[in-house]
Amino acid sequence: MQLLDGKLVSEKIKKDIANEAADFLMTTGRKPHLVAILVGHDGGSETYVASKMRNCQQVGFDSTNIRYEDDITEEQLINKIRELNQDETIDGLIVQLPLPKHIDPENVTEAIDYKKDVDGFHPVNLGRMQRNLPCFIPATPYGILLMMEHYKINTSGMHAVVVGRSNIVGSPMSILLARNTQPGNCTVTLTHSKTKDLQEEVLRADLVIAAIGKKNFITGDMVKEGAIVIDVGINREVSTKTKSGYKLYGDVDFQSVAPKSSYITPVPGGVGLMTIIGLLKNTLAAAKKEVYS
């Protein structure tokens, strides 16, 4: 079993991003700029946004965190997004999810200029991704592809089973793995909580992508010997044993699955770090107008 080390891979790629950002600054006189909007005081969201801001600083980007209380109206939020869309000094714009229940996340996502949509959630980017056209790939699937590239994992001909069908991870991941690319060229089964005989479906997988949002959902008896297991889950539970006051668990029961795996990602220290890399690479590409001129 080999650990797919998100910390090691992300640090290496961040050095490359920092070098490109330094060249961009010399050429243009400005840094790539990411703006993140955070609504309310969700603990997980605050942690994620702080990490994104910190990583921007590490690679030489400008970053701005705009915060609102959770009583902001949808109209006020969308008006702010439209204002930021017009600001030529901003390259990437993200709105941290989840949002308060009175705000429709689809309306918010569609309000973001797709040329600044570095999370890769806008329908234009998702549609272009499906057609294998240049676009911003959703950050988590992008990070997973970059990790597999780093470890030179040849996925061609594999049977990949994706567990979870979200628009953020599961659905785009299934499309990307089926494309005629490397990583890619898989036969893909997209499963979810309503799939019949889910255990049998996962047991057939050479590559398992676990993104269902349930702690330790994938267990050792669901995974065949030698499978590659990518754990996307980040499930937070209150803990008195950690400084932060909470402990993170994946969607995979690492203890029972790891001995059977050829490769596996840990939680924390795996996909979460690579998601930020996907976001940084998208932001740099947006600044350099590499995807949309």
Residue 142: other Cβ atoms inside 10 A: 23
Q: Rounded distance, CA 230 to CA 292, Å?
A: 31
Q: Which of 62, 91, 117, 119 is catalytic?
A: 119
Examine residue 183 and say whether the peptide bond preceding it is cis (omega within 30 degrees of 0).
yes
170's CB contacts (< 8 A; 6+ apart) are: 162, 163, 164, 190, 192, 209, 211, 212
> 165 with 195: CB under 8 angstroms?
no
- Sheet bearing 33-39, strands edge to edge: 62-68, 33-39, 92-95
Residue 242 half-sphere exposure, CB side, CA atoms within 13 Å? 9
Residue 251: other Cβ atoms inside 10 A: 25
Q: Which of 14, 31, 52, 281 is catalytic?
A: 52
Q: Is 42 a catalytic residue?
A: no
SS3 67: strand
Q: 226 exposed, middle or buried (CB, 10 Å; 0-12, 13-18, 19+)?
A: exposed
162's CB contacts (< 8 A; 6+ apart) are: 170, 173, 174, 177, 188, 189, 190, 191, 209, 211
Q: Rounded distance, CA 68 to CA 79, Å?
A: 13
What the block records as the tokens of 280 is 């940084």
Q: Is 16 a catalytic residue?
A: no
Beta bridge partners of 248: 236
Q: Which of 91, 96, 117, 281 is catalytic?
A: 96
Please give the positions annotated as active site.
52, 96, 119
